[in-house]
A and B are shown apart, each in its own frame.
Chain A
Amino acid sequence: MIVTWRIGLRIGLVVLAAVVLQVSFFSYLSILGATPDVVGVVIVALGLLGGGVIGAVCGFVTGLLLDSVLLQTLGVSSIVLLTIGYLAGRYREGFEISTSLAPALLAGGLTVLGASIFGAIQLMLGVDTQVSLLVVREILVKGLLAFLLAMPLYPLIRRILRPALVEGAGGSRVLSPGRSLRRVRGRRRGGRLTGAVPARRVRGGTV
């Protein structure tokens, strides 16, 4: 992904919209006893499109914003979201996204992981009361809802960030064979290329 200030602004607006929608819409919904986690899905999508560093940075900033809006313990959401953003980005850098279901499956799986980490941190910080086993059900249902949410959200975010993708439409890989990073950089000056290139190709010497 090439990060220019315009793309940064778009990412910022996407993150802000996700946080506002989460606290004023999705958090009110109770589907099978769980609340949909739209913020997690957005961070996974950003990680998948931008790579590990962008996923981690977006996750960190979004976590700070979420904790500040809700006046919760600062840093808890940041750790969770930067972890899932980074893992989504690393998946993108290391593996081929071969099916359209892959982002949704990844969003579901990483949401379950994120909710589990969040719960573990809360338990470490101290919970004075009993913890119901329904928490486990809540985590699993959250994963299922994230899977469903990612189906429309991932294409939507990819569309919003399309100008930043070196090869936007359709391709799971950002660079097509035979196209070097240097040529792309030459065409888009002022931007910074991060996390978009498969590791083995870069090692092969195109840069």
Chain B
Amino acid sequence: MYRKQVRRRRAVLVALIVVSLILLSISFSEADSGPLHSIQRGLSAVLSPLEEGASRALKPARDFVNWFDETFDARGDNEALRDEVQQLRAEVADAQSAVGENRQFRKMLKLDPADAALAEYDRVTGRVIGRSPTVWYSEVTVDVGSSSGVAVNDSVVTGDGLVGSISDTTRGSAVVALITDHRSAVSAKLLPDGPDGIVEPEVGDPDDLLLDFIDSNTEVKEDQVLVTAGWSNGRISSAYPYGIEIGRISDATVSGEQTFQQVHVQPFADIRNLDYVQVLTGGPARPGVPG
């Protein structure tokens, strides 16, 4: 009897492991339109109202707990911010005169406003209703989906800057792969006239991004701002339109005989505390970008 029980227990365990491995390999290799993904999306659609309700109901409790963490961080940030304010005051004076000149030149050259590239997109605002619990998947679920015009590869922003792009949709919800997700790679341009590179995350550190493919001989300064490059060669293009702010350079080091330097970027958007985001839908066709 005992042996039978042990055999049955082992059989159940082996069966579950085998089924998990089969699901894993099918899910990993299957196309997004495959049957397993469809079932997943169906289940996700069924549960998303529950997620949304729980997310709304638990927001005060969430804010309360995060308040402690943020207060702790804020104490450290306070001094750094004071220095930054002083520096920014000086820069604002210069910038205001530059903006005035810029307006005049644009009128003279009959150019569109600076954010013309983004003006072509419709903005769909969504509330974040779910979040992945591990550092390996940096994803959030939002309560707007294909019924609101949201499609895979649409860019997602907040008022602060780029957040990520849509990786999957159901009718009423969508999954946003954040720029801190290990599958994310954003082609970016250093302002004002710096080189282009690829912004990638460092798994496990959501406050730090890496700017890759910047030549060791190129001068990169701290606090330089990084925006999406939005390139296109007619056949393939970047999934992100030009000009969305990503972050600022926090550190750049050239080590030994490395071809590229190690450039760290601090994202503008507060990736860990997202409540609302905007999805840039529609817009001009981007060759080679599915969605």
What number of A residues sit within 8 Å (CB to CB) of B? 58
**Can you name 14 extra interface pairs (CB under 8 A) apart from A27-B131, A129-B210?**
A29-B62, A53-B8, A53-B12, A64-B23, A68-B47, A71-B37, A71-B141, A73-B27, A82-B17, A118-B134, A127-B203, A130-B210, A132-B203, A137-B204
B133 contacts across to A, CB distance below 8 A:
22-23, 26-27, 35, 37, 39
Check A71 against B175 for contact (C-beta < 8 Å).
yes
B 214-254 contacts with A by CB, 8 A: none
Of A29, A70, A75, the residue contacting B175 (CB under 8 A) is A70
Check B203 against A28 for contact (C-beta < 8 Å).
no
Interface residues in chain A, defined as those with a beta carbon under 8 Å from any beta carbon in chain B: 20-31, 35, 37, 39, 52-53, 56-57, 60, 63-65, 67-76, 78-79, 82, 86, 115, 118-119, 122, 125, 127-135, 137-138, 195, 199, 202-203, 207
Interface presence of B44 (CB below 8 A): yes
Check A71 against B134 for contact (C-beta < 8 Å).
no
Interface size, B (range): 35 or more
Of A25, A76, A203, the residue contacting B61 (CB under 8 A) is A25
Interface string of B118-162 (1 = CB under 8 A from A): 000000000001111111110101000000000000000000000
Which secondary structure characterizes the binding site on chain A?
helix
Evaluate whether A69 and B44 lie within 8 angstroms (CB atoms) in the complex, with A25-B62, A203-B2 already known.
yes
Within the complex, the shortest CB–CB distance from B221 to chain A, in Å, comes to 23
Comparing B49-57, B83-91, B98-106, B109-117, the segment that makes contact with chain A is B49-57
A79 contacts across to B, CB distance below 8 A:
17, 20-21, 24
Within the complex, the shortest CB–CB distance from B199 to chain A, in Å, comes to 10
B1 contacts across to A, CB distance below 8 A:
202, 207
Check A75 against B203 for contact (C-beta < 8 Å).
no
Q: Which of A56, A69, A119 has the most CB of B within 10 A?
A: A69
